[in-house]
Amino acid sequence: MTRIDDYKALLEPLSAEDQLILCGGDGTLNRFINDTDGIDIKCRILYYAIGTGNDFLHDLGKKVGDAPFPINEYLKDLPFVEVNGKKYRYLNGIDGYCCEVGDQLKAKSDKPVNYTAIAIKGLLFHYKPKTATVTVDGKRYTYKKAWIAATMKGRYYGGGMKTAPDQNRLDEKGEVTLVVMYGKGKLKTLTVFPSIFKGEHIKHTEMVAVHTGKEISVTFDQPCALQIDGETVLNVSGYRVTAEQKSPVTV
């Protein structure tokens, strides 16, 4: 493991002729974009995936083992999420229950975590849906029995769930997509849930709402966990996302 204590000292001397290769998964990318926020990066950033979830990789149509490829255009002007008094940039999406349980399982065993199984067991036995109040560019909506309230920069999260199939991470307006699955009981939700892996859940408009915008806030009637690119934040009562318009890429 390589530890970098001063990203500015490392990156600012590098020119457009230099290349830096990032090796890791979604969590590594998230740490990089936050640790380097505000630094003028002139070199080419290449990515070599060795993580487990790899939703960013999946979104770009790549797979583990592919040769390193440039990602500068995907790291610029990323949205912010504000939660529990802290502010982060993020790359993929925001939601929570599966990562909370996944972290608990990782603490007990070295076996790979099956996030699909966690989601299904949660729907059947453990997770209690919340009332979610959302505001999208000034318009307010309330959803009772919300199972999912994910705000997406990419299309995928949770190890392959195609949560926001129409989201474009290179959208010129910089907009993000909020997807809410709500209103139905466990059995109906469980019946529809598998379609999220192909992005077909959004056809069920009676229980899935999709909003796009640049200023999105979500509040819950009970605290819950939140994940940001696979990193878990506990005891969250709400979050706010601010998107940014894309600027030209010079590398």
Provide DSSP, 87-120. Answer: EEE-SSEEE-HHHHHHHHHHHH--SPP-HHHHHH
pLDDT at site 21: 95
> Global pTM?
0.87
Does pLDDT of 120 surpass 70?
Answer: no
Does pLDDT of 108 surpass 80?
Answer: no
What does the alpha-carbon distance between residue 209 and residue 108 come to, in Å, rounded to a whole number? 36
Does pLDDT of 124 surpass 60?
Answer: no
On average, the pLDDT of the chain sits at: 87
pLDDT at site 112: 61
Contact at 8 Å (CB) between 216 and 134?
Answer: yes
Mean pLDDT computed over 136-156: 95
Report the chain's terminal Cα–Cα distance, integer Å: 27
Domain boundary assignment for the chain: 7-76, 81-242
Q: Which residue has the higher pLDDT, 132 or 113?
A: 132
CATH class of segment(s) 81-242: mainly beta
Q: pLDDT tens across 74-87, in order?
A: 999 999 999 999 99
Mean pLDDT computed over 159-164: 88
What does the alpha-carbon distance between residue 33 and residue 229 come to, in Å, rounded to a whole number? 11
- When mean pLDDT is compared across 50-59, 98-107, 124-133, 152-161, the lowest value belongs to 98-107
Q: 141 falls in which pLDDT band (50, 70, 90)?
A: very high
Q: 246 falls in which pLDDT band (50, 70, 90)?
A: low
pLDDT at site 157: 86
